[in-house]
Amino acid sequence: MDYIDHSFEGVRGIISVLISRNAFVLGGIIAASIYLLDFILSPRLDPREPPLVKPSFPLIGHIVGLLRHQNQYHQIVQEKHPLPIATLQMLWGKLYAVWDPALAQAVLRAPQPSVEPFFIDFAAAVFGSSKETVQKIKDRNEHGLIQDFGHAVHNSMNPAALRQMNMAVLKFVGETFSDANGGSDGVLQYDNMWLWIKDLITIPTTRALYGRENPFDKDPPLTKTAWDFEENMASLLMTPFPSLLARKAYQARAKLQAAMVEWFTAEHDVTDSTVGGITRDRARVLRTNGFSSDEIGKVEMILAIAGVTNSAPTLFWMIAYVYARPYLVAMLRDEMDAFVHREKTTGSGDIATIKATNFEAQCPLLTSCFRETLRLSCFGVSSRRLVADATVTDSNGHPYLLKKGVDIQVPVGVPHRLENVWDNTAAKFDYQRFLEKKGARNGTSEKAKKTAYIPFGGGRHLCPGRSFALTEVMSIMGTLLAGFEVESLGLSFSDVKLGPPRMTTAVVKPLNEGAGLGVRITRRKGWEQVQWKYEC
């Protein structure tokens, strides 16, 4: 028996060695094959193109990194390779990544990088548009559909239309805060501040967009559906079978599209004067180009998402950053006391009036806090495709050739956190950072900051809704500072963390849906019976 046992052990040892050697050899062959394939398939660059940054894992490393880290991936790569611009290998293709602020501005101004190809791809993946609708977009775009659509959006943000939308939002805000003394104890209290802010922004914004027949008023759960879609939208871009692998986004999209199709079929955009100009004008371009109400509703469901997805988290972070600093609250309150016009009435309380379009001109400290909030919380990525060769030049005068057909990305998060622009406090909130310093308006450092600050995009693609968002967020902040005391419940304001940047949004949401941070809002002493009014 001993002989048999020893013989068996010997045979097993030989087999183990053979397997180990074969596995080692096989692993070597696989590794060599991958690197050989990488060598063969690596994109060949013109010497004038941006330098190639190969992924840590051959061929697919950058693709995996973008899928895993999404909008934060550029910051990770740029910290390892501090270049102004780079070419990232994507399998056998390539992607240009622009990290230098001056180059970013040059790319955003240039005519050759186009957003149009992404609009068409986005329609197919995110809206689930039919092949017929996608083909119709392509055919109509040969006659300038997407360009006309863009012009309509910008034109719809004219002063009169913007005022109508702002007043629709501020009417709700005024009612919310004027009624704060309606309860027995005059308190607004919410277990989750983020969930409250989502409602505070979404309800009035959708009223401003869709008028008196707002589908979100008719079906209140639709607000949660919209945020479910927004929070899971990226999965529609990354999965081949969305009905199975992206069910939450897929089902939320179906509910939103059904509501929007019903709304556009009733032609409220044509007949209702209370509908926002941007909603009406976008639909008019699509109707003029032969799109049905069904097609319009399925595509235009995105407007409600775009209207709230950045304003709500901006307000959340501004409250968190400001109220984590009691000394800053006191300074801002002094500024707001001088800004808010308060008058006696014959009724039970005073009327406090806020001129909502005057914040930037008359409230420099609050404006600085708003801009600093966006600098820290905005991680958006502008994507374009080059429709012709282009040459851009960095701040040192070095030109780079960008080739036709290649995609290009400009990540906002990188220039917003460059220490050579914002100094070694780049990762921290500095409420004074955007205050105009005496004699420094035209200084080199101030110009560098202005160039690097791009939360709303730049050049030909500056966000048309930036003024609407600023008025909305600043009016709410101004009201809270002037008329209320705000205290955190559970976590402190400084405890809440930024969530992961996602590829489909610009301003990041709080980690874990802001769980643990509640808020208690009470009337400020001497302001207990004040009613709130806004002028635009």
| pLDDT recorded at residue 433 | 96
Within a domain: 139? no
Instruction: List 187's β-bridge partners, or say none.
Output: 522
Q: What is the mean pLDDT of residues 174-186?
A: 72
Strand segments (E) across 311-380: 341-343, 351-355
Which residues, in sequence order, are CB contacts of 205 under 8 Å at separation 6+?
169, 304, 307, 308, 311, 472
Residue 57 has pLDDT above 90, yes or no: no
Query: Does this model's pTM top 0.75?
Result: yes
Residue 106 has pLDDT above 80, yes or no: yes
Proportion of the chain in helix, strand, coil states, percent, rounded to 5: 60, 15, 30
Number of structural domains in the chain? 1
Q: Are 366 and 332 spatial neighbours (Cβ–Cβ below 8 Å)?
A: yes
Within a domain: 21? no
| Residue 185 structural domain | 144-378+455-535
Q: What is the mean pLDDT of residues 61-87?
A: 93
Within a domain: 24? no
Q: What is the DSSP string of 237-271?
A: HH-S-HHHHSHHHHHHHHHHHHHHHHHHHTTHHHH
Q: Which residue has the tokens 């759960």?
A: 221
| pLDDT recorded at residue 11 | 47
Summarised one tens digit per residue, pLDDT across range 114-138 is: 888 888 888 888 888 899 999 999 9
Q: Are 286 and 183 spatial neighbours (Cβ–Cβ below 8 Å)?
A: no
Which amino acid, one-letter code, is at 39?
A: F
Which of these, 501, 519, 505, lies nearest to 65 by C-alpha position?
501
Within a domain: 364? yes
Residue 3 has pLDDT above 50, yes or no: no
Residue 443 has pLDDT above 80, yes or no: no
Which has the higher per-residue pLDDT, 326 or 113? 326
Within a domain: 47? no
Which residues, in sequence order, are CB contacts of 189 under 8 Å at separation 6+?
489, 518, 519, 520, 521
Quick one: pLDDT band at residue 92, thresholds 50, 70, 90? confident
Summarised one tens digit per residue, pLDDT across range 457-486 is: 877 667 888 899 999 999 999 999 999 999
Within a domain: 367? yes
Summarised one tens digit per residue, pLDDT across range 481-501 is: 999 999 999 999 999 999 999
The CATH number for 495's domain is 1.10.630.10
Within a domain: 413? no
Residue 40 has pLDDT above 70, yes or no: no
| pLDDT recorded at residue 182 | 46
Instruction: Return the number of other C-beta atoms located less than 10 Å from residue 308's C-beta.
Output: 24
Within a domain: 347? yes
Q: Are 194 and 188 spatial neighbours (Cβ–Cβ below 8 Å)?
A: no
